[in-house]
Structure 1
Amino acid sequence: MLYSLNRLIRKMRRRRELGALFLLLALAVSIVGNTLNFYYFEQASANPPGIWDSLWYSVISITTIGYGDFSSTTVGARIGTTIFIVIIGLAAFTTSVGLLVDWIVELRDRERSGMGKSDARDHLIIVNFPGESRVRQVISEFLTDAHHQDRDIVIVADGMERLPFVIANVSYVRGSPLEEETFQRAGIERAEQTIILSTGYDDPRSDSFVASVAFVVENLNQDINIVAECLDARHAALFSKSEQVSLVYALSLVTNLLVQEAQDPGVSLVTQAITSNEVEGTLATTKVEGDIGPDVSYDFIATKLLDHGINLVGVVRDDSVILRFHNEACTLDDSLVYIDTNRWTWEQIREMVA
């Protein structure tokens, strides 16, 4: 008998849908059967219960709470309680609790091991896991920004057994970044941004792999913003067909900064400050989305913005950067790069310089 019961429980755990249906049926039989049995036989008692009292008694008894406000006094009611509550009900209820706990533990384990599916929306997808400290820094910088602090993050990587850390709103999807199924589990169609990290600074094939991933992501979501790490500027042609990709030449930036710091001490400290969300007053961008007036130059705009504590440091036009503003006219689709504690809209900037 006990062997058969244990075998049935193991089978239900393996076939969760069938087990859940069976347990719901057993609980329903237990509650309904005991309700009708208790109501019928207890009518002969001194204080006969109503049908709702009988239902209350059955539910409370099956959950092992038992307030004691009702109890079986007749032989028929006691036999019914033994069959429907003790034998059927308690077994079904405790097994249901066990299956629920197993399901929660398995769900959490699947999430940690990357085998689950993300239901996040407007989230950031980080592709590749070159190292724990580096990925942690990317997450920390992203979530420190006030506009993104509540954003969900999904890490997509292959070859990592489970996520080595636990951070709120950060989940993991394990699989090849070159496969559509992996990104579908990461919710690519609902994602807003993607950061594709290099596979490693010592990997000569990193740029080609990152370019392939960027191509896959762009095909799966035509509206997503893609930021890709390119180790060698000579490999930029690999990304030439991707209109949604912004490239960051990490090694070139580090090399330039090393030389600049050697020639002009202090440059490194300032660069670190203005590129970190953890320091008040960081780099931000605003796209020019309308006319600001006839023949308005950027030196005039820079002066006006400085009156509001905003330091205009550059303008991005197409693929070129403008750092000297004299007689440079404000042009539609330019991107203003400035240092401030806030990220402003074009309408707000236009009001400041009006």
Structure 2
Amino acid sequence: MILLLIRRWSCQRHKPVVRVGTALLIALALNLIFGAAFLTAESGRQPELGFWDSVWWSMVTMTTVGYGDFFPKTFFGRFFVAYPCMLLGIGLIGYSLGVIVETLMERFNKRRKGTATMHFENHLVICQCPSVSRVIQLVEQFRTAHADPQRPAVCVTNQLDELPLEFREKSIHFVKGLPTSEETLLRAGVANATGVIILARDISDEGSDAESFTAGTLVRLIEESGTRSISVVIELARRQNLRMMERAGADGIVPAEGITDMLLTQEMFNPGLRHVVENLATHDTGCEFYIVPHRFGGRALREIQRAALDHPSNLQIVGVLRDGAALMTPDKSFRLGATDKLILLAEKRADYDAFETTHLNNHPQPPTE
């Protein structure tokens, strides 16, 4: 057993934590040894001296505190016990402090250079960094949506050489490497993340979608080997690659191409529409869109819409998502299927949960024709 411990220690003795632990263990051993030696040397001149008094003297001497309540009175106690105790104590303290400072600097440099491993949970991982400001905006929206301004966020990219000052001010961490590498994604803590946003590295580069597809597939493989469900959203650079990207198993795919053009045209005919879109797309103010499963299978959509309007919460059901298609104005006789999802406007998701529970309690049976 002892040989096994020695072997393990010899294999990891270069690690700062092991070095500090070794120094502290040696200090503790010397504390007891010098305490016992002090008691042996001084017990004749100081009969009132106890073992723990000697250990106390050893500690204050090794740390150079020099409290003065106990001190050696014999020649042997002064020069053969106290003298070595002071010299070894100063050396051990200096060594331990040096290793601690070295460890802190090493960790700081690793985080600054993006080589550290993240150990967060329920955090956001953003793959690629087209611009620092864009990553910051995404993180702020994520934190606002979770009502947690301190929620960790990690940016994975090979485009940065070190952590930008803006990231440091916003407590955004950085992992240097390609998101198409499983090792890089694991260092970012993807296995314990709440969500992953994969941005197009360069909208003008046709190869960006292939990289995003690889990153999305790797995230799904990491998810399968773990126990946590990870929400994945991918930015699509080219619409013609939509079917390819769907095979990556992403929860959401947002085309970068054409969205701005559509909004520009709509703004021409409906000036001010930009403010509506901003209100719906951000979590800072107003209501947001939510797509939620339901327990209203077989019921008429209009019945549920009217009940939602009568509910005390600010809640409106504006459409249905069926088989991947959004039905915003379905026929008035439209009935909900069990696999459909409701598209709603609400201040928070909890408002719908409260409405659904209340309505089901008051109307437990579907209406009959």
Q: Which bracket does the TM-score occupy, shorter chain normalised? A: 0.7 to 0.9
**Which residue number corresponds to residue 275 of structure 2?**
269
Unpaired runs of at least 5, structure 1: 1-11
CA distance in 1, matches of 2:170, 2:54: 45
TM-score when scaled to structure 2? 0.84
**Which residue number corresponds to residue 140 of structure 1?**
140
Write out aligned runs for 1:333-344 (5 A). Answer: 333-344=339-350
User: What is the deviation of 1:13?
Assistant: 10
User: What is the deviation of 1:101?
Assistant: 1.2
User: What is the deviation of 1:194?
Assistant: 0.8
**Which residue number corresponds to residue 183 of structure 2?**
181
**Deviation string, structure 1 residues 48-101 (Cα, Å, up to 9, x no partner):** 3211122122223322333333223322222211102x2111111111011101
Unpaired runs of at least 5, structure 2: 1-11, 364-369
Summarize the Cα distance change of 1:34–1:344 in structure 2 as closer, same or farther, 3 Å threshold: same
Q: Which amino acid aligns with 2:307?
A: K
CA distance in 1, matches of 2:66, 2:288: 61
CA distance in 1, matches of 2:292, 2:355: 9
User: What is the deviation of 1:146?
Assistant: 3.4
Summarize the Cα distance change of 1:348–1:18 in structure 2 as closer, same or farther, 3 Å threshold: closer
**Which residue number corresponds to residue 211 of structure 2?**
209
CA distance in 1, matches of 2:258, 2:317: 24
Q: Which amino acid aligns with 2:322?
A: R
CA distance in 1, matches of 2:123, 2:272: 36
Q: Structure 1 residue aligned with 2:193, among 185, 191, 196?
A: 191
CA distance in 2, matches of 1:88, 1:305: 76
- Report the RMSD for the aligned CA atoms in angstroms: 2.5
2:317 is equivalent to residue 312 of structure 1 = yes
Summarize the Cα distance change of 1:269–1:18 in structure 2 as closer, same or farther, 3 Å threshold: closer
**Which residue number corresponds to residue 287 of structure 2?**
281
With 93-102 and 20-29 compared, the bigger mean Cα shift is at: 20-29
Q: Which amino acid aligns with 2:336?
A: C
Q: Which amino acid aligns with 2:27?
A: L
User: What is the deviation of 1:265?
Assistant: 0.9
Q: Which amino acid aligns with 2:219?
A: V
User: What is the deviation of 1:22?
Assistant: 5.3
**Deviation string, structure 1 residues 151-194 (Cα, Å, up to 9, x no partner):** 32222111321120215653222112111111121222222311
**Which residue number corresponds to residue 328 of structure 2?**
323
**Which residue number corresponds to residue 74 of structure 2?**
74
Q: Secondary structure at the match of 1:87?
A: helix
With 30-39 and 68-77 compared, the bigger mean Cα shift is at: 68-77
Summarize the Cα distance change of 1:338–1:68 in structure 2 as closer, same or farther, 3 Å threshold: farther
User: What is the deviation of 1:16?
Assistant: 4.0
Q: Which amino acid aligns with 1:324?
A: T
Q: Structure 2 residue aligned with 1:259, among 248, 255, 265?
A: 265
Q: Which amino acid aligns with 2:319?
A: G
CA distance in 2, matches of 1:146, 1:177: 25
Q: Does the 8 A contact of 2:42 with 2:73 survive in 1?
A: yes
Q: Does the 8 A contact of 1:285 with 1:343 survive in 2?
A: no
Summarize the Cα distance change of 1:277–1:65 in structure 2 as closer, same or farther, 3 Å threshold: farther
User: What is the deviation of 1:350?
Assistant: 1.9
Write out aligned runs for 1:233-248 (5 A). Answer: 233-248=239-254
**Deviation string, structure 1 residues 292-337 (Cα, Å, up to 9, x no partner):** 264x222222222122320223322221001114222122232222
TM-score when scaled to structure 1? 0.87
**Which residue number corresponds to residue 98 of structure 2?**
98
Q: Which amino acid aligns with 1:179?
A: S
With 43-52 and 158-167 compared, the bigger mean Cα shift is at: 43-52
Q: Does the 8 A contact of 1:173 with 1:182 survive in 2?
A: yes
Q: Which amino acid aligns with 2:132?
A: E
With 89-98 and 49-58 compared, the bigger mean Cα shift is at: 49-58
Q: Secondary structure at the match of 1:269?
A: helix
User: What is the deviation of 1:260?
Assistant: 1.0
Summarize the Cα distance change of 1:305–1:65 in structure 2 as closer, same or farther, 3 Å threshold: farther
% identical aligned pairs: 25
